Amino acid sequence: MKKILIVEDERNFARFMELELMHQGYAVTVVGSGQEGLETATRDAWDAILLDAMLPGLHGFEVCRGIRRAGFATPVIMLTARDSIMDRVSGLDSGADDYLPKPFAIEELLARIRAVIRRSKRGSGAAQAALAYRDLRIDPVAGTVSKAGMVLELTKREYELLLVLMNHRDRVLSRDMLLDLVWGHDCEVETNVVDVYVRYLRNKIDDPAQRSYIQTVRGIGYVIRS
């Protein structure tokens, strides 16, 4: 039985999700504050976490960052009433795997849960060898990126985007392909989110005097060329 943690302070809404998920055969735990959510998320193993953005105490983005800082890769779906592009970027940048604005149909939530759990299982397969390009090195086992021997501080999404581009070196990937490979085809974000994250990555890995590691192919997408 798969275990789902719901971190939601609206009791009626939390109870509604709890009952629906239990009806689908999930084991469900509900907590109502950010601090309790962070403690519960990092104390036990979960198959997925449903995390409200607006919580008393710690807000959801901080909870998600805390989960990632603690080393947990548990799939997180951020739930929020806010639906602007920057809200979505903030949620994903904090380490969330998906972002679902309220109100939503329970069928869509169930589909999102199945999708993030599937992606999580795919990511837990055989260990991948380290990847190197120029002075960049990615260690997929440790989940780290280093440049000239110095470890870089990347968010979960920045790391995943760079890993995909490195794994597909010399192949131009469209924004739609990158959305599918990094965010998953079930995640409803606009393609300009890819541009935002490429800019974030360039700010962290590029040297102003050198050619960018990630090349833009106008009208198509991005590529790392050997």
| Per-residue model confidence as pLDDT tens for the chain (226 residues) | 799 999 999 999 999 999 999 999 999 999 999 999 999 998 888 999 999 988 988 888 899 888 888 778 889 999 987 665 666 666 677 788 888 888 889 999 999 999 888 877 655 544 457 888 899 999 877 778 999 889 998 888 888 899 889 888 888 989 888 888 787 755 666 778 899 999 999 999 999 888 999 999 998 899 998 7
Q: What are the tokens at 209? A: 């005097």
pTM, whole model, 2 decimals? 0.59
Residue partners of 98: CB distance under 8 A and separation at least 6: 75, 76, 77, 78, 112, 115, 116, 183, 184, 186, 187
